[in-house]
Structure 1
């Protein structure tokens, strides 16, 4: 098939079976590798949904300015779409962003604006949003895509991503939550058309999305210092909170033993999916892998970086012990499930 432009290469990402001893005997774990999108991230889907809706509503046209806050991946995707559709993109980032991502934005012609001081409440995430509002004042008529609260984010995932996975032979879908866009969009579709499927959320320790106190954490693409409007807990059955150490250890294990190179949010999702299979009646689960480890070769795949951040990788035995004691919260009843 010959595509008209690069945007037509977004979506329809592959699913692979994870055949590993950590998967409970007699159960199946499948990985939806959304790093097969053009920019190696599920955020290509999110960006396309946000931009298509804005273009249809006349909020973006050639020559317009789009502004967004991002921890990394959405910036690449929006910058690419700016190049395709002819609008200027200003990406607001913070010091956690990888140096390679900054070059990626600039390669697509985007402008980078970095905050350097965290907000007193909400850290760098809140500081980025404060900067977005300043830029909107500076550029009247600019469009803020607002991945956090724009309903076009989950709506696009409900229309597209969910349809790719709803008929797979699984009884649970597991995904990471930051803005809530992709997982809650999928959840909305699933609860309407496949209500027997469980939708399980995972978050990182330090995130405040599910009511925990906010504290700094290392992995990107997951968590927030608040709960965004796009996180609809009514379509989520359960949630589990895991650590940077657990997520990164799974990432390193899958890269070394299976040749699957994923980002920290993917490691978090796989760890949660393994625990869910162990502690629930589910016989099979699909873990949504948001992005590729290529974004983090100088971070979670760098031993010196891990040493500097005081992260000790967990071995298989230690991961098995952590999985055995992992707990889930029933979001409807707020009960702890073990």
Structure 2
């Protein structure tokens, strides 16, 4: 009982206690068309954003197994979002954090990471076959030979990344009850796989919809330079669970920007590239299913994107002024399809198209 009778937020001893339990918001904004409304899980409202869940799970798991020594150094490759999460969790657990990023990391995140005590290592040139991600991973391997008591979470292939999102899956079910579909962006594959494991147990008929970037190799597109950061990949993450997806959508940069800015103007909630792409696909799923029980995971807020998505000059320079009213249906093997919004109901691991599985056909990444 409080003096005023008003709800009181909990008092917390650590930033780790603030991770999770994020709110859901009903979104009725017509992104490109009318729809019954969907529910946005606002992960950007928590310190460290959505990736703090993965950071907490991976570091706790490593400590419990003795892989991360007390005071040991955590080193990881990221385009930015996981770096903030690792800074949050690492500082609370007493671990120095080294983040390997690249020249395309935005100025705000660079400054914020350094302010949080992170040592920032920037690679200057993309790998000729594996792009920025391969170049960053090569630098991580170099640092592992020189840092004191180093631990590399390896977010792309670490099962603890997936486990860290079980709680998110349970929150969706508790907050929404009956769920007809969950829409997730796919990068490392962690949160889509973690949510799906919970969903398949409690709501096996609910659809799991993946959202990728055009030009990402995760679902079989040929590798291409991508303007969008934070979703998609130019390598092959083991954490992507292809069997759980009922369909996948590829979204272009223009459609994602349209989604972000439409949300900002109408719903007073928005985020980065992943948020715009997921909002577009979630609104489509809500319309197609004629259901208001569609959940969309918004990984972060808009703050890192002021000089890209929300900059009118950037938008004009890159031709990001279009929108889309429907995806083009393609077969998952149609990797030479249009650049913009596509979807497929046949989701295939692109590795299965290759007889010799020792090396990724697009980036040369060795597969164990």
Which has the larger share of helix?
A: 1
1:109 aligns with 2:117: yes
Count the aligned residue pairs: 327
| TM-score, normalised by the number of residues in structure 2 | 0.84
Q: Would the alpha carbon gap of residues 306 and 57 (structure 1) be closer, same or farther in structure 2, given more than 3 Å must change?
A: same
1:46 aligns with 2:54: yes
8 Å contact from structure 1 (residues 162, 186) kept in 2:
yes
Aligned residue in 1 for 2:337: none
CA shift for structure 1 position 281: 6.0
Aligned counterpart in structure 1 of residue 182 of structure 2, from 169, 173, 189: 173
Aligned counterpart in structure 1 of residue 311 of structure 2, from 288, 302, 305: 302
1:33 aligns with 2:42: yes
1:200 aligns with 2:215: no
Aligned residue in 2 for 1:63: 71
Q: Deviations over 1:255-274 (max 9, x none)?
A: 11221131110001011112
8 Å contact from structure 1 (residues 271, 323) kept in 2:
no
Mapping of residues 1-338 of structure 1, within 5 Å: 1-22=10-31, 27-39=36-48, 41-139=49-147, 141-158=149-166, 160-167=167-174, 168=176, 169-280=178-289, 282=291, 284-308=293-317, 310-314=318-322, 318-319=323-324, 321-322=325-326, 327-331=342-346
Q: What SS does the corresponding residue of 2:164 show, helix, strand or coil? A: helix
Q: Would the alpha carbon gap of residues 230 and 333 (structure 1) be closer, same or farther in structure 2, given more than 3 Å must change?
A: closer
Q: Would the alpha carbon gap of residues 212 and 131 (structure 1) be closer, same or farther in structure 2, given more than 3 Å must change?
A: same
CA shift for structure 1 position 27: 2.6
Structure 1: which 5+ residue stretches go unaligned?
A: none
Cα RMSD after superposing both structures: 2.0
CA shift for structure 1 position 170: 2.6
Distance 1:154 1:203 in 2: 18
8 Å contact from structure 1 (residues 61, 86) kept in 2:
no
8 Å contact from structure 1 (residues 207, 214) kept in 2:
yes
Q: Deviations over 1:156-198 (max 9, x none)?
A: 212x111101241430000100000011110111112210111
Q: Would the alpha carbon gap of residues 282 and 330 (structure 1) be closer, same or farther in structure 2, given more than 3 Å must change?
A: farther
CA shift for structure 1 position 136: 0.8
| TM-score, normalised by the number of residues in structure 1 | 0.91
